[in-house]
Amino acid sequence: MFQNTKCECGHQNPVGTVLCESCGKPLLEELLTDESAPLEMRYDGVARRSQKANPHIVDRIWNFFSSVKIAVYLIAITLVGACLGTIFQQENTLINMTERSEFAAFYKEQHGTFGVIYHALGLSRTYESWWFVLLLVMIGTSLVICSLDRVLPLYRALSKQQIRKHLQFITRQQVVYNGTVEGDQEAWLTELGKQLKRKHYRVYQEKGALLAEKNRFSRWGPYINHIGLIIFLLAVLGRSIPAWHMDKYLTLYEGETRQIPDTNYYVKNENFTVDYYTDDELANNQKGTKVVKLYETEARLYECTDACDDPMKEPVLTEVKHHNIRVNSALSYKGLKLYQNSYQERVRFISVKPSLINSATGKSLGTFELSMDHPAEKLEVGSYKLTLSDYYPDFSLDDKSQPMTKTREPNNPAFVIRVNGPNIQAAGELYIYFAMPSEKSKYYEKIINESFKQRGDNTGLFTIKVENPIVDGKMNNITYSEYSTYLNIRVDKAMPYIWFGAAISMIGLIMGFYWQHRRIWLRFDDHSLSLGGHTNKNSFGLRADVAWALGKTGIEVEPKSLDNRRNVR
Amino acid sequence: MTLNGWIDFSSDAFIVAFYLYCASFICFAIAVAGKRWSNRKPEDHTSRWGKIGFGLAVLGWLAHLTFFFTRWYGGGHIPTSNMYEFMTFLGMAIMFAFIVVHLIYRNMILGAFALPLIIIIIAYASVFPSEVQPLIPALNNYWLKIHVTTAATGEAFFAVGFAAALMQLIRVVDFTRTDKAGKRSQFWTEFSLFVIIVLIGFLVAVFTFRAAGYESTFNQETIVIDDAGIAKSSVKEVIYSLPPLVAPYNSEAVSFQSFIGMKEPLFESPSWLNGANAGRKLNTVIWSVIAGLLLYGVLRLFARKKLAAVIHPHLSDIDPDDLEEISYRAIAIGFPIFTLGALIFAMIWAEIAWSRFWGWDPKEVWALVTFLFYSVYLHLRLSRGWQGTRSAWLAVIGFLVVMFTLVGVNLVIAGLHSYSGV
Amino acid sequence: MGRYRKSIQYIILAAVLLVGGYAIANSLFSKSVVLTKGDKPPSFRLAGLDNEVHELQDYEGKPLILNFWGTFCPPCRDEMPALQKQYDKWKGEGLELVGINLSEDKLTVESFIRQVGVSFPILMDKDKKTEKKYGLKQYPTTFFITPKGVIQEVVIGGLLSEEEIEVRVQRLMKS
């Protein structure tokens, strides 16, 4: 491909130049055939960096990504891909499933054959799939290369503009005026320049020619936007760096303290509250239904300061933050964020305070506390020593009728307690105590204590039970949690970069869309005046500017008549 | 005045706004259609009636604003929290965008296309229950104000871009052409109008049956798998206000009001439509198409030609390039606002409320799709051959994408944004 | 200028390849924690019922059976005697057997161990931490680890009979 790139004005242009960089004369053959057609003014007609005579493989890749057409295709394919992902639920919304087989079964059951196909194609994980990520990577690449290829030549072209442009360049703009000016042309030009200055144009004048320009900075808007998008995309990628990102869920019943996995922090659910709207506050069609007004976790965040990794000792915790976590109000501490995700209404035992009672007199000998988590093994009640010899959080019998715990949760806690003390048999008295005040539990308790008695393990001297279990309609001597809170724990160190990228991108968008680069060229050839105007957006506004300025200098024109697009109708 | 008094007052203001918009539309229609009436200069006629129309539109908008702020005051929170409130707000935003674009371009004809759009949207809003509902915890945040209003404003400019693009398409469509491409453009232009008629048909169907007090009820059984992985079935009552041609999936009729001899639903909705009340929505869509077809048939019978061909001659003295510029400009104004409101502010709020700025929730994805679509539009306009009719088509499709994001996602896809239960 | 431009092109394309490659690789390889044959078992540091601290590296260089169990899990309870018998049989040859309890109360565990008469070390997991590290899905899960510290086999779910354990121990001894 050989092309004579030297313009008649003497300027040597790079290969691929559409309009001479210096005088603006159209250089491409096809532009010369129709002399009245408006010019293509993209990037001021400069050669893109990538347009080269002999492409090498690297150049070819470069050229591929440098094409806006390719960019548009990439965006369009991403758009379609993103749509596909919304046909059915994505796998990541199914928090309680992890295995591929579970997901497959879910899609089959929920959506039938379509679901099976959808899952098999991997569309149930569209946004994490390699092809979707690849598309985003390619868009990112295209953003870098497209911008780089255009912004530098454009910058060069705009920073050294000739004032007197080629006649064809002027008459083939989108806004054109041709006329004659009698009298002092230079004085008229100066006057016009003055008027244009009032419209905030920068005016450059030389003999018989004028260039007025404003809002050139808006040309950089798209590129700034692209830079912002690149930062944004890189920041999103940064989230995949393990140390930068954490996303964990914790369920905590009221009063529970748990370690936040993989950190040195512990969180305690001090108290959980749910408020419902009263009927007065609800709309008529909602009355009688339960609408949640507020739910919040009173949380305490602790940092472990000592014995953190020592399995033999309890960690030493120091409170670092106290916050009521609500939807829209997370606990935030040094980049660690605890969000209220949801909650569950689920009763869970925390502890019980039964009394040791003399069966014969019915008199209480004192109370003791049994915690459902790590209950104390040695207790003292008056002059008696109590030893916990067994604990079943969820009492049940196995297939050999041996007592066992069904789960790890204290759903039906049973304690086996040995009582030693004065005036009782040397081995002490053995009792089982069920904390759950249900009929079934108490029945078991009775049967087992009977069998202990028959074996001679106890003489029925004592009874263990909670006294005054209900006071003023409230449970007494039993502490339990009504709700379990479900917290989402996050670390997202990439967030500042994400917001930064978004902000840059937004600045670029505003620059590019709310201001328009406008330029007006004038030249005199003898008495005939040629005016051309160009803007990248809003030629309506440019026409108004030109007509206004011409009007101020004695040439009355209709803005509409300046329109040169599709020739003059 | 009591708080409820304010809410009642706001409803009145809304009705006033609605009628003012209708009056404004009639004036704009006269401005367009009456140009060739005898004894007048066309430009003066258009300018006079256009000015009256615009004045009425501004008055309507003021009434609409009154509605908005009195409801805000009476309800205690910004009225953008359910479908009714959002749609009325969108109508108000489109009106705002229209006023802005009108003040820039002073094109008297634009109103003839923008106002029906606004009227349809606020009529659509009225389909939903208009009672003030208290906020659920997730919405109770100042970002509700910021995110929803900016997103809707951006979308409103896209709506104005759509109106101008549709005008442009009707303006440039050539009814004398008989070749394939010509036929195609005639068909699709007509089809766009047909879709709008279907929307009107939907409104007519809903309000007719509502006026007649129609109601049928079903019990629908749904199976939900809870956190522990246990399948639970729950029975929910589904009330139809249009005669059920389609029953909800897995349901039985509780009460069925017969309609012209129809005693039971014709078929059951498919299982894969999984939005809330999918069966009822499908039923509504079918009714809308039926009503739209009827309405379209009647109009064609009167006009005896394609509807686009009826409007086309009235637009002949508008420069299609002007229309294209208006459409493009409206979209160019809307794009940054949309990006800010529907993506960036949405991300900030999602980060605050849901702990992640982006979660590929269907609504989020569709906001992104809208963004990508308009990016394609803006990039394609850089290249030759994509200005003119093609970009007008893109502007029209773009608005369809917007409407799908706003309405369609709630209609067919279940997700985090399904607050309104609509 | 040409050379300068070329090097910029190379640098940018290389950066794209690197960053993009990382992104795509990330999406291709899921971060599942399910351990299989050939994996290295994650380390742990836990308290034993013997009031000593036990670490995985204490058992380095010896064939090791790691059994995750709980008293709430019937197959775990049922296979305990078989494990104990095999431990008695092979401990002379250097076999190590460690039971990791699934975060239960010490009291509950102790009384069960006493009942069955287990003599191999029982470690107490806390807050399901170790269990999660090992990616457990079902109980019991038993890991057979070679002296080189590589997982030879994972047996998920019960119940292992004495013979089944023996076959695997022999295989472990041979490696």
pLDDT in tens, C60-80: 888 999 999 999 988 898 889
Give one DSSP letter per residue of chain C, joined into a string. Answer: -HHHHHHHHHHHHHHHHHHHHHHHHHHHS-------TTPPPPP-EEEETTS-EEEGGGGTTS-EEEEEE-TT-HHHHHHHHHHHHHHHHHGGGT-EEEEEE-S--HHHHHHHHHHHT--S-EEE--TTHHHHHTT--SSSEEEEE-TTS-EEEEEESS---HHHHHHHHHHHHH-
Provide the pLDDT for residue A4.
59
Number of domains in chain C: 2
Flag whether pLDDT at B34 surpasses 50: yes
Confidence of residue B421 (pLDDT cuts 50, 70, 90): very low
Confidence of residue B235 (pLDDT cuts 50, 70, 90): confident
Q: Determine, for residues C20 and A140 on separate chains, whether the beta-carbon distance falls below 8 Å.
A: yes
**Which of A83, A407, A516 is the best mutation test for B, with the most CBs of B within 10 A?**
A83
B 7-36: CB under 8 A from A? none
CA distance B420 to chain A (A): 12
Provide the pLDDT for residue A527.
82
Which structure tokens are listed for A238?
């940064």
CATH assignment of the domain containing C109: 3.40.30.10
Contacts with A149 from chain B: Cβ below 8 Å: none
Residues C78 and C104 in one domain: yes
CA distance A497 to chain B (A): 13
B 238-267: CB under 8 A from A? none
Low-confidence winner among A53-62, A270-279, A313-322 (lowest mean pLDDT)? A53-62
Provide the pLDDT for residue A83.
92
Neighbours of B60 (CB within 10 A): 26
Q: What is the ipTM of this complex?
A: 0.88
Provide the pLDDT for residue B247.
79
Low-confidence winner among A308-312, B146-150, B337-341, B400-404 (lowest mean pLDDT)? A308-312
- Chain A interface includes B110 (CB < 8 A): no
Residue B47 is which amino acid? Answer: S
pTM: 0.89
Provide the pLDDT for residue A279.
85
Low-confidence winner among A95-109, A367-381, A416-430, B364-378 (lowest mean pLDDT)? A95-109
Is residue A258 within a helix (H) or strand (E), and if so which, with residue range?
Answer: strand A257-259
Contacts with C20 from chain A: Cβ below 8 Å: 134, 137-138, 140-141
Looking at the DSSP bridge assignments, the partners of residue B337 are none
Using CB atoms, which residue from A130, A311, A388 is nearest to C46? A311
Taking each helix axis from N to C end, the angle separating A68-84 and B362-380, rounded to the nearest 10 degrees, works out to 160
Flag whether pLDDT at A2 surpasses 50: no
Contacts with B74 from chain A: Cβ below 8 Å: none
Confidence of residue B228 (pLDDT cuts 50, 70, 90): low
Q: Determine, for residues A502 and B347 on separate chains, whether the beta-carbon distance falls below 8 Å.
A: yes
Q: Alpha helices, DSSP H only, in B76-227?
A: 83-105, 110-125, 143-172, 180-212
Contacts with A377 from chain C: Cβ below 8 Å: 107
Which structure tokens are listed for A131?
């092809």
CA distance A34 to chain C (A): 35
Starting at the earlier edge strand, list the strands of the sheet with A429-434: A378-381, A384-392, A414-420, A429-434
Confidence of residue A33 (pLDDT cuts 50, 70, 90): low
Q: Determine, for residues B129 and A285 on separate chains, whether the beta-carbon distance falls below 8 Å.
A: yes
> Would you give the distance in Å from CA A185 to the centre of its chain?
61
Residues C83 and C158 in one domain: yes
- Chain C interface includes A378 (CB < 8 A): no
Low-confidence winner among A45-59, A551-565, B205-219, C6-20 (lowest mean pLDDT)? A45-59
Using CB atoms, which residue from A86, A96, A294 is nearest to B365? A86
Residues C73 and C130 in one domain: yes
For the stretch B184-210, pLDDT in tens is 989 999 999 999 999 898 888 888 888
Q: Determine, for residues A513 and B347 on separate chains, whether the beta-carbon distance falls below 8 Å.
A: no
Contacts with A108 from chain B: Cβ below 8 Å: none
Flag whether pLDDT at A567 surpasses 60: no
Q: Determine, for residues C102 and A408 on separate chains, whether the beta-carbon distance falls below 8 Å.
A: yes
Are residues C87 and C119 in contact, defined by beta-carbon separation less than 8 angstroms? Answer: yes
Using alpha carbons, select from A296, A303, A295 the residue that is nearest to residue A266.
A303
Strands (E), A106-233: 175-180, 202-206, 209-214
Q: What is the CA radius of gyration of chain A?
A: 41
Q: Mean pLDDT of all residues in chain C?
A: 87
Is residue A420 within a helix (H) or strand (E), and if so which, with residue range?
Answer: strand A414-420
Confidence of residue B333 (pLDDT cuts 50, 70, 90): very high
Using CB atoms, which residue from B229, B272, B360 is nearest to A112? B272
Q: Find, in chain B, the residue whose alpha carbon is nearest to that of A276.
A: B136
Contacts with A397 from chain C: Cβ below 8 Å: none
Provide the pLDDT for residue B417.
54
Provide the pLDDT for residue B132.
86
Residues C23 and C58 in one domain: no
Structural domain that includes position C134: 45-174
Confidence of residue B422 (pLDDT cuts 50, 70, 90): very low
> What is the residue whose two structure tokens read 């001659």?
B313
Low-confidence winner among A374-378, B2-6, B120-124 (lowest mean pLDDT)? B2-6
Kindly tell me whether chain A and chain C come into contact, counting contact as 3+ Cβ pairs under 8 Å: yes
CA distance B301 to chain A (A): 37
C62 occurs within a structural domain: yes
Provide the pLDDT for residue A54.
64
Provide the pLDDT for residue A326.
92
Q: Considering only residues B411 and B103, tell me which one the structure prediction assigns the higher pLDDT.
A: B103
For the stretch B155-183, pLDDT in tens is 999 999 999 999 999 999 888 888 888 89
What percentage of chain A reaches a pLDDT higher than 70? Answer: 95
CA distance B268 to B125: 27
Confidence of residue A555 (pLDDT cuts 50, 70, 90): confident
Strand, coil or helix: what is B219?
strand
For the stretch A393-414, pLDDT in tens is 999 888 888 889 998 889 999 9
Q: Mean pLDDT of all residues in chain B?
A: 86
Which structure tokens are listed for B127?
């389909």
Confidence of residue C142 (pLDDT cuts 50, 70, 90): very high
Flag whether pLDDT at A469 surpasses 90: no
Superfamily of domain A163-222+500-562 in CATH is: Kinase associated domain 1, KA1 (3.30.310.80)
Kindly tell me whether chain C and chain B come into contact, counting contact as 3+ Cβ pairs under 8 Å: no
Provide the pLDDT for residue A487.
93
CA distance B415 to B405: 12
B 317-376: CB under 8 A from A? 319, 321-322, 325, 328-329, 332-333, 335-336, 339-340, 343-344, 347-348, 351-357, 359-360, 362, 365-366, 368-369, 372-373, 375-376
CA distance A44 to chain B (A): 13
CA distance C97 to chain A (A): 20
- Extents of the domains making up chain A: 48-157, 163-222+500-562, 242-349+482-493, 354-476
- Extents of the domains making up chain B: 3-175+306-412, 216-292
- Chain C interface includes A309 (CB < 8 A): yes
The average pLDDT across A56-67 equals: 86
**Which of C1, C17, C104, C105 is the best mutation test for A, with the most CBs of A within 10 A?**
C105
Neighbours, chain B (3 or more CB pairs < 8 A):
A
Confidence of residue A1 (pLDDT cuts 50, 70, 90): very low
